[in-house]
Structure 1
Amino acid sequence: MQHYSQQKRFLFAVDCIIFGYDGQELKLLVIKRSFEPFKGKWSLVGGFINDNESAESAAGRVLNDLTGLDGLYMEQLHCFTDPNRDSVERTISIAYFALIDIQKYNQQIDEDYHPAWFSINQLPELIFDHTAIVEMAKEKLRYKAALHPLLFELLPDKFTMPQLQSLYEAVYNMEFDKGNFNRKLLSTKLLDKLEDKDKLNSKKGAFYYTVNLKKYSAGFKTFLNFVPSQYINK
């Protein structure tokens, strides 16, 4: 077998930034590291890439090991290559962000990892460069959500307009005008109105909506400029 001579071997890993929405706040899933260094400290979910798998396959495996789920929305974020990012050994990490409905999947989270959901605005101290990774993921999520309807991946099968507005406000850390928000969303034709209402949060009740899956797929090409550009990187 031939080898490239005099070339040092590096470790390759994946880190997964898992965003979730509980109906009120945008949250991040973190775990307690089970080995040194920084054993017991908060960390992103991650792992090393095996010889026989791609980075994307490794990220999918890590997510499946934690949640027991396949097919989560997942997208590559960035490749982190700072020589000093890992205090033990030179490790290059390819980061992915994923979206998960907390209410739907919370019971499947593997407790062996000591997982915990933290508000995206009240995160604990994370190991290595994980805080910087999360900040980049937040910016990417805001940018993508302004162009594509991917935030619907965070919602339950049926939801109200106030819940949807609350989600967008959580992501962008700002308030939207209710009338303008509703008009813009309904004009996309992505939502199907249901007959039943949520009567727990108001006397009048708010109609439930569901996503039209056919139009949702097309929406990734047509759902443009929903959020004003000045708020994307806020």
Structure 2
Amino acid sequence: MVVHLAGGRNIIVDAKVPLLAFLEATEARDERLRDERLAAHARHLRAHVDALGAKAYWRHLATSPEFVVLFVPAEAFLAPALEKDPTLLEHAAAKKVVIATPTTLIAMLRTVAHAWTQEALTSRTREIFELGRDLYTRLGTLGEHVDRLGRSLSRTVTDFNTAVGSLESRVLVPARRLAAMEVVENVLATPSPVETGVRALSATELAGRADGTPG
């Protein structure tokens, strides 16, 4: 079976554990036969671990960690096997197989789910940090553009007012003399200078970037 966890992750669980030898041991009346069947139970469990590890189920499911859970339905089934084969758990781990009973399975799933949730939060925090840095940089660039536009408008206003002054002093004076001599009928209108200046950037972040200093 596949257990679906938070963050789109999955844990593959195999529950086809061989229990025939264990059941035969529980029914045996002879101590020697019982001991022999428990040893067989340990061998069967180890062989199942080898077969399960060789299948490498995680390769077929990209969202699964590189291990598969071998589910043993009760502690009573696992304990005798470990008595006969004390290295069974280490052997299983080397094969990327985790042997779990109901208690350990739930604890393991909760731990893995929590770890992935924390990883997702860390990833989201890192993404927000990168977006914030990118936004701050873009604001600085926009401030540079606005500052250049403001300086360009200021130069335009200055040039316009200079042209108005030249028009008044160099062109309109003799033109008005013509009007005073009644050579022409209409009086020329006098253009007004632009009095309102361009507002400078006041935000230190934007003004700093516009001046070439770090924002």
Identify the TM-score tier after normalising by the shorter chain.
Answer: under 0.3
- Whose helix proportion is higher, 1 or 2? 2
| CA radius of gyration, larger in | 2
Give the TM-score taking structure 2 as reference length.
0.22
- What's the TM-score, normalizing by structure 1? 0.21
